[in-house]
């Protein structure tokens, strides 16, 4: 089991054959009894694949439909994401760069209303959203990008990260602006709300479209929460655990289901059992793990500081005139852009759900704060990973190695015990990403099916089933499908953003004018 790592399927985005979907088989798939899963892995694996393949293939082929550009097949969804990020950057006149100083003041709390102490602050909204995005993408994905695209991919990754800041700005502003205050005093926000409410507010003619986009988004978000936000996480964290305990010889090597059950139990204790302390502890440990990862990366870079100019030289020359990279210039560009888009989720819409709980009278401020998410996630963390990999020369151009394992090896070359710390970090990152995505998925689920005890518990049980499946199996097409679901979220979301961007621009310009004039109330 698990010899061919799933993250490669994720990175290559192959396009299988479309067939017709079969609802019944999907239902069957949901109700597979758990013990059977654990024991007959191969057989069940096969059967699940057969059952869901027609549907997954169809959706995968649509979402990842490729357009050949200069000899490289580039999935349309990637062009869709990057084009939007670039467009928003120009439309908002480089809000991503010029507001960074002010955004930092907002995060620091300089403009927090003292009467709102005890509410969700900008810092909390940002750190919560970050712990949902920083994770395997930064560790595993970057290793694959540098392996397949060479050091030059780092350059394009950074550029895409900078552009992605503009997409985050737009979606998170809208997430706060159109959020819903529930009867019980809690708040719900995110693309489903701004798509349905926002478009209806723009024009009565758009009401139907808004509703449709909101439903589409919710469906994809539920799929993404089972896949990339769940199965991919449990699968990859288990792989790292196996790798660090001895690879194929590890006692854990064929115990994926056990790991899955343990993780599912922990997640279940939080989301069903309501044991908040686990979630709270995770929320507190994960940021420190992130900081530890950054600091260790910097230490490795510093230990080899004479090679840093060489590495940057490789990054720049590799970005524009790569040698020996499949697809040449376009190939490098593609790898870098892809990793950035996949790691920071800008334009996907998930972050808008996380950011919407902040307490502020100015939705724009949360958009400005959210700018820092792709910046920290991609421009800082991914770049550190890339530098460590480049400096230690840990590539695997064949593209068959596991992403986490590559990064782990790269760090291990310099600091022998770090792979163990990294394993702990990976498991915790996976756990926090799962908890975040279970929330995103649940919000979409209750948006579609209503917020009752039964619908709520149904979703949560399904979520746990997928944790075990993800850890115990090699599910090529199912994982392709779940990736497809995450990126499919970008279609309704970004389409809605185009309709709603004049609203954001109006609010932003009015706000910025007051900021420049110094008339914003400042308390610190």
Partner 1 sequence: MSRTILVGLDDSNNSQRAIEFAKQFVDDDTVIALVFVIEWSRFSFSTVEENAQRHKRREEELQRAHEMVLKPAAEHLQQENIAVECYARHGHVAEVMNRLAVKLDADMIVVGKRGNSALARKLFGSTTASLVQVAEKPVVVVP
Binding site for partner 1 (CB under 8 A): 109, 112, 117-121, 123-125, 127-128, 131-132, 184-188, 276, 279-280, 282-284, 286-287, 353-354, 357-359, 435-436, 439-440
Q: Compare residues 135 and 151 and give the one whose CB is closer to partner 1.
A: 135
Smallest gap from Cβ 403 to partner 1, in A, equals: 26
Nearer to partner 1, 137 or 175 (CB): 175
CA 465 to CA 264: how far, in whole Å? 8
Distance of CA 430 to the CA centre of its chain: 11
* CA count, 13 A, side-chain hemisphere, 406: 33
Report the residue number, 506 or 522, with the smaller CB distance to partner 1: 522
Measured CA to CA, the distance from residue 316 to residue 312 in angstroms comes to 6
Q: How far is the CB of 158 from partner 1 (least distance, A)?
A: 27
Residue 186: CB minimum distance to partner 1, A? 5
CA distance 382 to 440: 24
Q: What share of the chain is helix, strand, coil (3-state, %, to 5)?
A: 75, 0, 20
Instruction: Give the pair of three-digit tokens for residue 348.
Output: 């996907």
Name which of 33 and 185 has its Cβ closer to partner 1. Answer: 185
Smallest distance, Å, CB 127 to partner 1?
Answer: 5
Q: Are 430 and 289 in contact (CB under 8 A)?
A: no
**Among residues 131 and 472, whose Cβ is nearest to partner 1?**
131
Judged by CB, which is closer to partner 1: 90, or 288?
A: 288
State phi, psi for 493 to the nearest 5 degrees.
-65, -55
Give the SS3 label for residue 73: strand
Instruction: Provide the minimum distance between the beta carbon of 445 and partner 1 in the complex, in angstroms, as a whole number.
Output: 14
Q: How far is the CB of 388 from partner 1 (least distance, A)?
A: 26
With respect to partner 1, which residue has the nearer C-beta, 282 or 477?
282
Cα(505)–Cα(176) distance, rounded to whole angstroms? 15
CB-wise, 22 or 455, nearer to partner 1?
A: 455
Smallest distance from the beta carbon of 280 to partner 1, in angstroms?
7
Q: Cβ distance 459 to 447 under 8 Å?
A: no
Cβ at position 283, least distance to partner 1 in Å: 5
* Beta carbons of 143 and 408 less than 8 angstroms apart: no
Q: Which of 318, 328, 339, 386 is nearest to 78 (CA)?
A: 339
Compute CA distances 157 → 318, 330, 401, 482, whole Å.
13, 13, 20, 23
Cβ distance to partner 1 smaller for residue 147 or 438: 438
> Please, what is the minimum distance in Å from the beta carbon of residue 362 to partner 1?
16
Q: At how many degrees (to 10) do helices 453-472 and 256-271 cross?
A: 160
**Whose Cβ is closer to partner 1: residue 63's or residue 357's?**
357
- Please state the closest distance from residue 443 (CB atom) to partner 1, in A: 9
Beta-bridge mates of residue 72: 69
What does the buried/exposed string (b/e) look like for 378-401 if buried means 16 or more CB atoms within 10 Å of the residue's CB? bbbbbbbbbbbbbbbebbbeeeeb
CA pair distance 345, 373, nearest whole angstrom:
9
């Amino acid at each position: 089991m698990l010899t061919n790592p799933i993250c490669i399927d994720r990175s290559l985005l192959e396009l299988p054959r479309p067939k017709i979907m079969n609802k019944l088989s999907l239902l069957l798939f949901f109700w597979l009894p758990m013990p059977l899963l654990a024991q007959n892995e191969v057989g069940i694996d096969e059967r699940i694949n057969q059952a869901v393949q027609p549907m997954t293939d169809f959706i995968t082929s649509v979402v990842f439909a490729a357009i050949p550009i200069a000899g490289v097949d580039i999935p349309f969804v990637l062009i869709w994401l990057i084009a939007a990020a670039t467009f928003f950057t120009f439309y908002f006149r480089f809000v991503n760069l010029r507001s960074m100083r002010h955004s930092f003041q907002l995060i620091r709390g300089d403009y927090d209303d003292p009467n709102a102490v005890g509410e969700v602050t900008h810092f909390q909204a940002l750190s919560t959203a970050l712990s949902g995005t920083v994770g395997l993408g930064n560790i595993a994905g970057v290793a694959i990008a540098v392996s397949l695209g060479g050091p030059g991919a780092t350059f394009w990754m950074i550029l895409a990260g900078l552009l992605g800041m503009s997409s985050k700005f737009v979606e998170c502003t809208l997430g706060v602006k159109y959020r819903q205050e529930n009867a019980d005093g809690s708040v719900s926000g995110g693309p489903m709300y701004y798509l349905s409410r926002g478009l209806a507010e723009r024009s009565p003619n758009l009401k139907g479209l808004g509703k449709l986009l909101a439903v589409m988004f919710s469906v994809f978000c539920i799929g993404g929460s089972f896949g990339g936000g769940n199965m991919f996480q449990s699968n990859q964290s288990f792989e790292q655990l196996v790798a660090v305990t001895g690879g194929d010889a590890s006692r854990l090597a064929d115990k994926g289901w056990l790991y899955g059950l343990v993780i599912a139990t922990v997640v279940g204790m939080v989301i069903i059992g309501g044991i908040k302390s686990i979630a709270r502890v995770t929320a507190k440990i994960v940021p420190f793990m992130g900081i530890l990862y950054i600091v260790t990366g910097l230490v490795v870079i510093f230990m080899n500081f004479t090679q840093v100019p060489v590495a940057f030289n490789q990054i720049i020359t590799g970005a524009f005139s790569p040698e020996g990279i499949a697809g040449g210039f376009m190939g490098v560009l593609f790898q870098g852009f892809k990793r950035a888009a996949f790691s920071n989720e800008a334009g996907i819409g998930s972050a808008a759900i996380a950011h919407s709980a902040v307490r502020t009278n100015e939705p724009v401020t949360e958009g400005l704060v959210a700018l820092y998410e792709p910046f920290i996630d991609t421009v800082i963390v991914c770049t550190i990973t890339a530098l460590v990999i480049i400096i230690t020369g840990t590539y695997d151009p064949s593209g068959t190695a596991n992403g986490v394992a590559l990064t782990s090896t790269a760090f291990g070359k310099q600091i022998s015990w770090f792979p163990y710390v990294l394993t702990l970090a990976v498991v915790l990152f996976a756990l926090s990403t799962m908890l975040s995505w279970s929330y995103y998925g649940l919000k979409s689920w209750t948006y579609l099916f209503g917020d009752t005890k039964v619908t709520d518990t149904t979703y949560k049980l399904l979520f746990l089933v997928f944790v075990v499946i993800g850890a115990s199996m090699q599910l090529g097409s199912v994982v392709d499908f779940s990736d497809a679901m995450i990126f499919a979220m970008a279609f309704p979301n970004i389409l809605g953003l185009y309709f709603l961007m004049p609203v954001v621009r109006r609010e932003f310009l009015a706000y910025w004018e007051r900021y420049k004039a110094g008339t914003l109330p400042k308390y610190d």
